[in-house]
Structure 1
Amino acid sequence: MTTDRTAWFTHDRFGMYIHWGLYALGARHEWMRSREFLSNEQYNKYFKRFDPDLYDPELWAKLADEAGMKYMVVTAKHHEGFSLWDTQLSDYKVTNTPAGRDLLRPMLDAFRARDIKAGLYYSLLDWHHPHYTVDVKHPQRYDAAFVEQSKQRDWQQYIDYMFGQTEELLSKYGKIDVLFLDFSIPPEQGFPGKGKKEWQSEKFVELVRRLQPQIMINDRLQIPGDITTPEQYQPREWIKVNGEKVIWEACHTFSGSWGYYRDEESWKSVDMLVKMLVDTVGKGGNLLLNVGPTGRGEIDERAVERLKGMGEWMRRHNRSIYGCTAAPEQFRCPDDCRFTYNPETNRLYLHIFSWPFKHLHLYGLSGQVEYAQLLNDASEIRMVEGAQEMTMEAGAFNEGRSADTLTLELPIKPPNVAVPVIELFLKS
């Protein structure tokens, strides 16, 4: 499953997603244009006023780096059709706004300078292009005159544009490690779908591979990709396609929106976000966690707070994330805990979501662990093997534990970290 081309991805595990476009000025969800049925003319007020004067890509990269993120994916173009780079194929681009400059190149340079791999998101949908046809997601889908006019559009002109912009991005912006394409649409509510036939997906992938052979592509072209991308939910187990485990990445927001949403309040806590990261890696996946910068070019202070909180945890616990994957199936994880496993070092990491009183029983692990320690400070965790009596100091004796049980003797007070981790050095 993992190859030389994909090994970095399954090692690094944690990335920053960036949704940034004209919708940052509306500040009420990146799908606002579709939700509010806005025409090009109505939406144009944001284009005329896009001026992120506080944009500091070095600061963005620093926040990602200190949070422990190892790759990034930014919306070069979202569904609104606006390009963050100086595309030569459209006037609907950042250099024609008050910003007056390419915002993509300095961003990629800043992240690469911190050894963070570069990824681009490119929307297959485009609500601005004059030859993009109506579908169930289009903002003017219920405008009868627009629907009728859409029948006269030349779809191939849009495909040529899509191919041309992709060639620009993959030939003029250096090495791109990930291409996140979004998305195919099933037929719905009397509207036709858009999938591999409409996108000319096989031909499109040939173009991408010719320009950047090493690149990883997601699975939203309606043909198999390198990465399967469940969005806004936590899978119950390692993602499988046709019964086979695949490389996968959970895409999540800090709150309920991808773009900057001023009034949205369902923000996840640092503890929850760390648990989501651990849960994902423990099922063999990656976490791509999104920020939605403001119209002035700053990352939302609520996101900054959480990035710093995750970074504090990652500084002491990243050994349980980088290079890790699901634990061997014979290891039974206790309730309210998650295992991750590093096959290179042969270490098992026990993440404790709910701290128990004094003892934690690991069934099936007696005789298999050489040493145990809290990862945050490398302090020893004493162990009791099998059915032998616990120490008097621990204040308890064996009460029917099976011979294959390894009991960890825990301090009553947990360490002051979001999720405590016990590092188990397995015997070779």
Structure 2
Amino acid sequence: MTIGGGMDASEGKAWFTQDRFGMFIHFGLYALAARHEWVQHREEISPADYRKYFENFDPDLYDPREWARRAREAGMKYVVLTAKHHEGFCLWDSKHTDYKATNTPYGKDLLKAYVEAYRAEGLKVGFYYSLIDWHHPEFPIDGIHPLRNHPDALEMNKSRDVRKYAEYMRNQVTELLTDFGEISVIWFDFSYPKRDYRGMPGKGRNDWESEELVGLVRKLQPNIIVGDRLDLPTDGNFPKDLATPEQYTPRVAPTVNGKPVRWEVCHTFSGSWGYHRDETTWKDAAQLINILVDTVSLGGNLLMNVGPTARGTFDARANKALETYGEWMRLNSRSIYGAGPSEYVAPTGCKFTQRGNRLYLHIQTWPFRHIHIEGLGRKVKYAQFLHDASEVHWLDPDADVDSNIGVAVGNGMLTLELPVLKPDVVSPVVELILKD
């Protein structure tokens, strides 16, 4: 198994580039506000005023078995849930804080049921853990803290000790990686050492004590995949386990010191990670599928986010998006699982993924009748649409063909003959079986 087309994977992490597609879940107190997971920062809500969400948190319809079923049916193979986001609220019964789900009206640990439900559906389980904590009394106020413009912010910081906070994080991470069995991924988020604000410095590896934190993680879970947002140097002591581009698809696959790296892009169905009642920029079916295709064609994974409601459900818009993936993956998943980049260059409006001698042409912009592919003349022994296994013909490169098509074929070009009408499937895929 290779990572992004080049770097060897350890046996315990080889599943990652096989699975390709995962679910991100942002769930916390911000679901009650229903106006973005950064609402406390954006509106500069003090911890005291934010407490109303804690006092009313009761996701009584929470059924992680349904969440897990929908993830599996969408074609997702692993999941990462926000055990703690920037607001500092913990979804599990942590011994190191009172700011947790078991002290809300809901009164129960959310993580245990989540872990059990997703594992029962055959998905690998991961945790997101925020390095930032706007509730913890030892977390120094900085430029993204809700109290950043408080007149006494600098004075309040005099009694805050980030070293005590770093110890608190290690204690909680120990719980997460000890009490819930094997955890496949841990997402730490995020560092901002250069974001100084009004005399208050940003935070990075020295604040998080990142080296010690990573050492703890490796000791507790040797095969876990660790996200790259701890502000660690990319030297031999701290090789990058997982690059994490966010809300965009890279133009080329990420590298570290010129070498390929395991990577995963994370996206949202809309413009918010947490539940946002009034958000309207939801991606259409083609955008959803093409984000996945574009990512895998470069050798990466897609982690697509769902923000559950404060009742603990996926809303209708999220379910529709998941069903879009499910319908497409049911027919086209073999162009995704275990697939990666190809040495062949896809024509305009298309992307290639490849798995062994199977080359998958994802047609993102439907053409009129023909697609010309350089370098594949005489190399294909069979072609078919993946969604229905119907044969796709191509022009004989040795035949006399007039017009520009003939010129193309004569130059080692493969010219596929397609129906005028696009098949009733988002981004149709042609499976090209290459000669040995």
Select 1:207's aligned residue among 212, 216, 226.
216
Question: What RMSD, in angstroms, separates the aligned Cα atoms of the two structures?
Answer: 1.4
1:122 shift after superposition: 0.1
Matched with 1:423 is 431
Counterpart amino acid of residue 336 in structure 2: I
Q: Contact (CA 8 Å) 2:271, 2:279: kept in 1 or not?
A: yes
Matched with 2:309 is 294
Q: In structure 2, the residue corresponding to 1:179 is in which secondary structure?
A: strand
> Separation in 2 of the partners of 1:159 and 1:332?
48
Counterpart amino acid of residue 416 in structure 1: D
How far does the alpha carbon of each residue in 1:327-367 deviate from its partner, in whole angstroms, 9 at most, with x for none? Answer: 11xx1211000000113xx2110000111111111111011
Q: In structure 1, the residue corresponding to 2:178 is in which secondary structure?
A: helix
Structure 1 residues 171 and 115: CA distance shift in structure 2, 3 A: same
> Separation in 2 of the partners of 1:277 and 1:400?
31
Matched with 2:250 is 235
> Separation in 2 of the partners of 1:171 and 1:72?
18
Select 1:42's aligned residue among 19, 27, 49.
49
1:400 shift after superposition: 5.1
Structure 2 unaligned segments of length 5 or more: list them. 1-6, 235-239
Matched with 1:380 is 391
1:163 aligns with 2:195: no
> Separation in 2 of the partners of 1:325 and 1:157?
44
Counterpart amino acid of residue 76 in structure 2: M
Select 2:345's aligned residue among 314, 332, 338.
332
1:186 shift after superposition: 2.5
Select 1:21's aligned residue among 25, 28, 36.
28
Q: Contact (CA 8 Å) 2:392, 2:417: kept in 1 or not?
A: yes
Q: In structure 1, the residue corresponding to 2:416 is in which secondary structure?
A: strand
1:12 aligns with 2:25: no
Q: How does 1:68-147 map to 2 (within 5 A)?
A: 68-147=75-154
Q: Contact (CA 8 Å) 2:42, 2:146: kept in 1 or not?
A: yes
Q: Which runs of 4+ in 1 moved over 3 A?
A: 399-402
Structure 1 stretch 90-99 or stretch 182-191: which is displaced more? 182-191
Q: In structure 2, the residue corresponding to 1:256 is in which secondary structure?
A: coil
Matched with 2:378 is 367
Identity %: 54
1:2 aligns with 2:19: no
How far does the alpha carbon of each residue in 1:73-100 deviate from its partner, in whole angstroms, 9 at most, with x for none? Answer: 0000000000000001100000000000
Q: In structure 2, the residue corresponding to 1:297 is in which secondary structure?
A: coil
> Separation in 1 of the partners of 2:32 and 2:193?
30
Structure 1 residues 358 and 390: CA distance shift in structure 2, 3 A: farther
Q: In structure 2, the residue corresponding to 1:172 is in which secondary structure?
A: coil
Q: Contact (CA 8 Å) 2:154, 2:200: kept in 1 or not?
A: no
Structure 1 unaligned segments of length 5 or more: list them. none
Q: Contact (CA 8 Å) 1:282, 1:340: kept in 2 or not?
A: yes
> Separation in 1 of the partners of 2:394 and 2:22?
36
Q: In structure 2, the residue corresponding to 1:53 is in which secondary structure?
A: coil
1:159 shift after superposition: 1.0
Matched with 2:326 is 311
Aligned residues between the structures: 421
> Separation in 1 of the partners of 2:339 and 2:60?
40
> Separation in 1 of the partners of 2:400 and 2:255?
43
Matched with 2:66 is 59
